[in-house]
Structures are given as structure tokens and as C-alpha cells.
Amino acid sequence: MRASLPFLPALIHVVWLTAGGAGPVPQAVPPAVDYQRDVAPILEAKCNRCHTANKASGKLITTTRAAMLKGGISGPAIEPGKPDKSILIELIHHNEMPPKGVRPRVTADELKLLKAWIAAGAPEK
């Protein structure tokens, strides 16, 4: 004669959950920061008025990644992988660039994008 075990399905469910059967809840992965889509428009709107080949204030050009790596009189504008050591981020963070009255300020979201791009190694593509 077979014994009835009405609690067995619930017990199996608890053991399955305890053992990690449900697994972690998947999190949405934010898209990687893209130079052309995310970074270049910020630089165009906030930096390139004064930092182009025709008018390189401080001898800095911000129209290309290569030019920012080369830098100006203060050195390289960006240090790939090190946003907190990048002059570009430091000047924006301290509200020194863009200069008051010249351009709208870099927003907090734009600064986050620039930092994320530099932290990712400042990829060109």
C-alpha cells in the first residue's frame, strides 16, 4: 500500500528554490557608450566651438579621440580607463569648461556618459 505524501510537491519546490533553481533575476544590461552616438555629440555641442583645428584653444582639439589623446598645453585631455585622472573630466567637473557664457554647461548625464566612455578605454568605435 502506497502512503500519500501531499507535502512532497511543496517540499520539492522549497528545495529547488533553496538550491538556487530559480537563479538570480536577470538585470537589464545598459548598452555600451558609443563614441559616435553618445560622445561626439556632447563634444560638438560643448567643446568644439573653441577646440578645433582652426581654433585650438590651449592647443587642444576635441574633434577626434586621437586629438584628445595627444592633448594640448596641459597634456592629454583623456586617459583611457582613468576618467578621474582625465583633464577633460576634471575641468568639466569643476565647471571650468566650457567657460561661463560661452556654451551651455555639460549636464550631469553627459558627464556620466563621458566618464563611462573613458572608463571603458575611450573606444573610437
- Percentage of residues in the chain having pLDDT higher than 70: 75
Residues 51 and 44: beta-carbon distance below 8 Å? no
Retrieve residue 109's grid coordinates: 548625464
pLDDT digits (tens, 9 = 90+) for 45-76: 999 999 999 999 999 999 999 999 999 999 99
Higher pLDDT, 22 or 95: 95
In the block, residue with C-alpha cell 573630466: 89
pLDDT at 125: 78
SS3 105: coil
pLDDT at 16: 47
For the chain, which residues make up each domain, given as ranges?
A: 35-119
pLDDT digits (tens, 9 = 90+) for 90-102: 999 998 999 887 7
